[in-house]
Amino acid sequence: MNKAKFVAKLALRDIRGDRKISLIVVLMLSFSFLNLVFLPGFINGLSHTFTEGIIEGQTGHLAIESEEERLENADAVVQRISLLEGVENVEKVLETRVNAAYNGKSTSVVLKGTSAQNFEGYTSKMRTGKFLKEDSSEVVAGRFLTEDQSITSVEGIEIEQGRILRITGNNFSRELKVRGVIGTEAGIGGMSQKIYINYDDMEEITGTDDKADTVKIILDDRENVESFKNRLQELNTVGEIKTWDEQSNLADAINSTFTIVINILSIVGLIVALAAIGVVIFINASKRVREMGIVRAIGARKTRVIQIFVLEALIFGMAGVILGNIITLGIDSYLASNPIQSPVGPISTELSFTLLSTRSLGMLAASVIAGFIPAYLTSKTEIVETIENR
Amino acid sequence: MTIIKAEKLTKTYQMGDIQVKALEQVDLEVEKAEFVSIMGPSGSGKSTLMHILGLLDNPTSGEVYIDGEKTSDLGEKKKADFRLKKIGFVFQFYSLLKGFDSLEQVVLPQILEDKPKEKAEGKAREALEKVGLGDRINHSPSELSGGQRQRVAVARAIAGNPDILIADESTSQLDTESSAEIMKLYREFAEEGQTVITVNHEEELGQKADRTIWLEDGKIKDRNR
Q: Give long-range contacts, CB 8 A cutoff, 24+ apart: B43-49.
A: B44/B215, B44/B216, B44/B217, B44/B218, B45/B11, B45/B215, B45/B217, B45/B218, B46/B168, B46/B169, B46/B199, B46/B215, B47/B92, B47/B168, B47/B169, B47/B199, B48/B11, B48/B22, B48/B23, B48/B218, B49/B6, B49/B9, B49/B23, B49/B215
How many residues in chain B? 225
Residue contact B89–A3, C-beta within 8 A: no
SS3 for A12? helix
Task: Flag whether pLDDT at A358 surpasses 80.
Answer: yes
Question: How do residues A58-80 score in pLDDT, each as one tens digit?
Answer: 889 999 988 778 888 889 999 99
Cα separation of B82 and B88, whole Å?
A: 9
SS3 for A196? strand
Residue contact B99–A13, C-beta within 8 A: yes
Nearest to B91, CA basis, from B99, B83, B80 = B83
Question: How do residues A262-281 score in pLDDT, each as one tens digit?
Answer: 888 878 877 877 787 777 76
Which phi and psi (to 5°) does residue B49 adopt? -65, -45
Q: In A, which residues are within 8 Å of B100 by CB distance? A: 9, 13
Question: What average pLDDT does range B150-175 have in this prediction?
Answer: 86
Provide the chain A residues 270-289 that lie in CB contact (below 8 A) with chain B: none
Question: How do residues A104-116 score in pLDDT, each as one tens digit?
Answer: 899 999 999 999 8
More confident position, B160 or A138: A138
Cα separation of B134 and B127, whole Å?
A: 9
Question: What average pLDDT does range B173-194 have in this prediction?
Answer: 83
SS3 for A109? strand
Q: Is A291 on the interface with B (CB under 8 A)?
A: yes
Among A2, A17, A299, select the one facing B109 at the smallest CB separation: A299
Provide the chain A residues 14-43 that lie in CB contact (below 8 A) with chain B: 16-17
Residue contact B56–A387, C-beta within 8 A: yes
How many residues in chain A? 390
**β-sheet bridge partners, residue B198:** B37, B167
Q: In B, which residues are within 8 Å of A15 by CB distance? A: none
Q: Is A175 on the interface with B (CB under 8 A)?
A: no
**With b meaning 16 or more CB within 10 Å and e meaning fewer, what string describes B194-221?**
bbbbbbbbeeebbebbbbbbbbeebebe
Q: Which residue of B has its CA nearest to A290?
A: B95
Q: Amino acid identity of A140?
A: V
Which phi and psi (to 5°) does residue A321 adopt? -65, -45
Task: Flag whether pLDDT at A390 surpasses 70.
Answer: no
Question: How do residues A117-130 score in pLDDT, each as one tens digit?
Answer: 888 889 988 999 99
CA distances from A40 to A27, A257, A260, A320, A354 (A): 20, 12, 10, 18, 12
Which phi and psi (to 5°) does residue A27 adopt? -60, -45
Question: How do residues B9-42 score in pLDDT, each as one tens digit?
Answer: 999 988 888 888 899 999 999 999 899 999 888 8
Contact B57, A297 (CB under 8 A): no
Among A13, A291, A298, select the one facing B156 at the smallest CB separation: A298
Cα separation of A158 and A17, whole Å?
A: 70
Residue contact A2–B76, C-beta within 8 A: no
A302 pLDDT band, cuts 50/70/90, is confident
Question: How do residues A11-37 score in pLDDT, each as one tens digit?
Answer: 777 777 677 878 888 888 888 888 888
Categorise residue B36: left if φ over 0, alpha if ψ from -120 to 50, beta otherwise: beta
Environment class of B60 (CB within 10 Å of its CB; exposed 0-12, middle 13-18, buried 19+): middle
Q: How many CA atoms lie within 13 A of B217 on its CB side?
A: 1
Nearest to A247, CA basis, from A203, A190, A208, A198 = A190
Across chain A, the runs of DSSP E, i.e. the strands, are 62-65, 87-102, 105-114, 126-129, 138-142, 164-169, 172-182, 194-198, 214-219, 240-243, 340-342, 345-347
pLDDT at residue B223, rounded to an integer: 64
CB count in 10 Å sphere of residue B29: 14
Q: Is A383 on the interface with B (CB under 8 A)?
A: yes
Cα separation of B208 and B192, whole Å?
A: 16
- Radius of gyration of chain B, Cα coordinates, nearest whole angstrom: 17
Among B83, B95, B98, select the one facing A299 at the smallest CB separation: B83
SS3 for B45? coil
ipTM above 0.90, yes or no: no
CATH number of the structural domain B33-57+77-222: 3.40.50.300
Nearest to B97, CA basis, from A322, A75, A14 = A14
Environment class of B119 (CB within 10 Å of its CB; exposed 0-12, middle 13-18, buried 19+): exposed
Environment class of A261 (CB within 10 Å of its CB; exposed 0-12, middle 13-18, buried 19+): middle
Cα separation of B52 and B4, whole Å?
A: 11
pLDDT at residue A284, rounded to an integer: 67
Q: Which residue of A has its CA nearest to B107?
A: A1
Specify which of A47-61, A216-230, A372-386 reaches the highest per-range mean pLDDT: A216-230
Residue contact A9–B85, C-beta within 8 A: no
Task: Flag whether pLDDT at A206 surpasses 60.
Answer: yes
Among B57, B80, B117, select the one facing A300 at the smallest CB separation: B80
Contact A254, A51 (CB under 8 A): yes
Q: In A, which residues are within 8 Å of B114 by CB distance? A: 3
Task: Flag whether pLDDT at A197 surpasses 90.
Answer: yes
Contact B66, B115 (CB under 8 A): no
Q: Amino acid identity of B35?
A: F
pLDDT at residue A270, rounded to an integer: 76
pLDDT at residue B10, rounded to an integer: 94
Nearest to B185, CA basis, from B223, B157, B221, B222 = B157
Question: Closest approach of chain A CAs to the CA of B95, in angstroms?
Answer: 7
Cα separation of A63 and A299, whole Å?
A: 72
Q: In B, which residues are within 8 Å of A6 by CB distance? A: 108, 111-112
**CA B85, B88, B89, B95 torsion: positive or negative?**
positive
Nearest to B144, CA basis, from B88, B205, B98 = B98
Nearest to B47, CA basis, from A143, A384, A46 = A384
Nearest to B193, CA basis, from B223, B145, B158 = B158
Largest CA distance in chain A: 100
